[in-house]
Copies of this chain bind each other. A is one copy, B any other.
Amino acid sequence: MITDDDRRFLDLAIEQARIGWEEGGIPIGAALVHEGEVLAVGRNRRVQLGSAIRHGETDCIENAGRLPAKVYRASTLYTTLSPCFMCAGTSVLYDIPRIVVGENVSFQASEEWLRSRGVVVDVVDDPTCRELMVTMMHEKPELWAEDIGEEA
């Protein structure tokens, strides 16, 4: 179930996605929230940092810094796009119990696996998240292929 707070935190992730797109990057953003407090936001920075591991979710988790296990275990990860296996695996490493996904039409790989491991995955199907992805996939298909390890 998506609450008003969820909507507000997803909007922070969307803001990050927009900033990333304006920077010339891939428009995917994330936010990590612990008991109502925003610990960090992040965005895909493949282009900006020349990075192979800074997806929206991993950039966000990196920006949150070193945290004890109990904090992750009481947090929710918000992401504009359904997580790839790197980001899903990072969530599983840290036992993040819930992920709120902006949309999973443009990309979906890990949701079944996450649910099989007990993670709650709530999908919003947000039109703004989809528009950002559609625009990017149309304008920069090779960049998108690179980001998800596909042949261009």
- Give A contacts to B, CB under 8 Å: 46, 50-53, 58, 61-62, 64-70, 72, 84-90, 92-95, 110, 145-146, 148-152
Cα distance A85–B92 when bound, in Å? 7
Asked if A146 and B68 sit within 8 Å, CB to CB, the answer is yes
Residue of B nearest to A87 (CB): B89
The answer to whether A90 touches B95, judged by C-beta atoms less than 8 angstroms apart, is no
Q: Quick check: A93 and B50 within 8 Å, CB to CB?
A: no
State whether A68 and B152 are in contact (beta carbons under 8 Å apart), knowing that A88-B89, A90-B53 are contacts in the complex: yes
Contact residues in B for A150 (Cβ distance below 8 Å): 69
Residues of B within 8 A of A85 (CB): 89-90, 92-93
